[in-house]
Amino acid sequence: MILKRGLIVDGTGGTPLRADIAFAGDRIVRIGDCEDAEGVLHFDVDGSVVAPGFIDMHGHSDEVLLVGPEAASKLYQGITTEVGGNCGASPAPLANTSLHEKQMEMQRHYDAEPQWADFDGFFRTLEATHPAINFCCLAGLGTIRSALDCIGNEPLRDDELRRAERLVREACEQGAIGVSSGLIYPPGNAADTAELIALARAAADAGSGLYASHIRSEGDELVEAVDEALEIGWRSGCAVQLSHHKASRRRNWGKVHDTLARIDRARDRGLDVVADQYPYKASSTGLDVILPKDVNVGTRESVAARLSDRRYAALVAARVELEYGGRWHEVLVASVSSERNRHLEGQTIDDIAAATGRTPVDAALRLLVDEQLDVGAIFFTMCEDDVRTVLSYRQTCIGTDAVAQATSGITARGKPHPRTFGTFPRVFKRYVRDGHLLSLEEAVRRASLLPANRLGLRERGLLATGYLADVVVFDPQRIADTATYERPQCYAHGIRHVFVNGVPAIRDGDMTGARPGRVLRRGRDL
């Protein structure tokens, strides 16, 4: 297989080279003049960029790849590898509450059931499904707490911590690449710093020394939350990944200058710390994040049951209104589980309140109760200056913070954040071609070699002889995101070809149906 006359942007950030590139099997075998090489397939890629396949440093596809292994929204962005298990939530281990929650989630969304209990079982199940992209996974510390039925609002006791450490070691021995925390989500938000250090150290001791964190605050206590993550790195021996780095709410805009300076100082002292980002001014997560920490305790069903009591709900509403009052027009419903509320997708909480004659906070709480807390939402809380500041930082990777979706079928849920379909092409259109914030070579490095080195991926993330042939070919003048908040389920433009392990998954802008991805396990593949 030979790609002819492309502009080779190899992932290092160095000067591009106009050359041919040849694959044999799953490997790159030559870069240069391939006129004398015999190939079964020839691709004329004159005028196109040839780059390493993009690595989604922060994804959430996990078990979604079992029902949608085609991973269309990822491939059409040029993504060939995804890191899952982020924000403290992973597909394993499943027992007790984590099993119950995963069963309920998969039944509601995909009419499916989990058929595994641990990471080895999940990885084997995924391998049998043959995903279109490569996949590696972190062990979520929130999921580990749930597997132990530790879903209260307090740090783990000594005996519980020892059991959690065993689960971390087991996950890493079975191939998890590290651990993740989601410190705004229950039950992981009950962990104190000492608990997080102990569990991160267990991962490091097992040879999977990466701690990725949705930190405890991205708003008023952003700086303190970054300091906590850095402390966990220092004291555990783990490298640190600051997930979807941002500053939320106007009064916190600009704090990213301070946090990036702190990252630089830590790096200068020897700590391996990197950030990732999606290039949008809105975030997306569950609507239940509006609930106070002491309210959102227990299973989804138990929280919803308590909120269905009018007197209790009124007390909660008063507290929620103190935080969100006057900002409900910034909160957009992205997804619900029930058909009866499907018409609310794409509406703001203010819209819903006006249509129902309720106050916005009452409308939000009633929707949470009606959907058993399973409501996705989009929050418009960031500013463009901060987005540009974080993206221009040399140690920022790119991540979608999204599941793999399609524009139709079982994975086409709701009106998701446009990052689901547009993250990587948006970087190249808005911040390379139009905005000149990054050079083409630097943007490719952020999407390939930087995350590959951070993950320890063997022979990926770089166009070099002998490396695995994860390759994207795109038109630098046409690559663009087309997904919007109003019409989010739209594939990006400008991706001509995508090769995963040497096999064309997208050819001439169309999916081939091939599913050549691999499950990448720590200790075996990286």
pLDDT digits (tens, 9 = 90+) for 250-271: 999 999 999 999 999 999 999 9
Q: Do 431 and 497 contact (CB within 8 A), yes or no?
A: no
Looking at residue 37, its pLDDT comes to 75
What 3-state class would DSSP assign to 412?
coil
Phi-psi label, residue 384: left if phi above 0, alpha if psi -120 to 50, beta otherwise: alpha
CATH number at residue 57: 2.30.40.10
- What is the percent of the chain with per-residue pLDDT over 90, rounded to a whole number? 97
Expressed as residue numbers, the domain containing 408 is 1-81+273-279+402-454+466-515
Q: Which long-range contacts (CB under 8 A, 24 or more apart) does 357-366 make?
A: 359/317, 360/324, 360/328, 361/317, 361/320, 361/321, 361/324, 361/325, 361/328, 362/313, 362/317, 364/287, 364/290, 364/320, 364/324, 364/328, 364/331, 365/307, 365/313, 365/316, 365/317, 365/320
Looking at residue 41, its pLDDT comes to 85
Does residue 124 sit in the same domain as residue 190?
yes
Q: Rounded to the nearest 5°, which phi and psi values hold at 80? A: -115, -15
Give the pLDDT confidence of 198-246 residue by residue, as tens digits: 999 999 999 999 999 999 999 999 999 999 999 999 999 999 999 999 9
Instruction: Report the distance separating Cα 301 and Cα 374, nearest Å.
Output: 10
Give the pLDDT confidence of 432-469 residue by residue, as tens digits: 999 999 999 999 999 999 999 999 998 999 999 999 99
Does residue 61 sit in the same domain as residue 93?
no
pLDDT category of residue 417 using cuts at 50, 70 and 90: very high
- Kindly state whether residue 249 falls inside one of the protein's structural domains: no
How many residues does the structure list for the chain?
A: 526
- Kindly state whether residue 169 falls inside one of the protein's structural domains: yes
Does residue 56 sit in the same domain as residue 178?
no
Looking at residue 11, its pLDDT comes to 99
Does residue 226 sit in the same domain as residue 188?
yes
User: Number of structural domains, the chain?
Assistant: 3
Whether 36 has a pLDDT exceeding 90, the answer reads: no
- Kindly state whether residue 265 falls inside one of the protein's structural domains: no
**Dihedral over alpha carbons 360, 366, 371, 373 (to 10 degrees):** 80
Does residue 105 sit in the same domain as residue 146?
yes
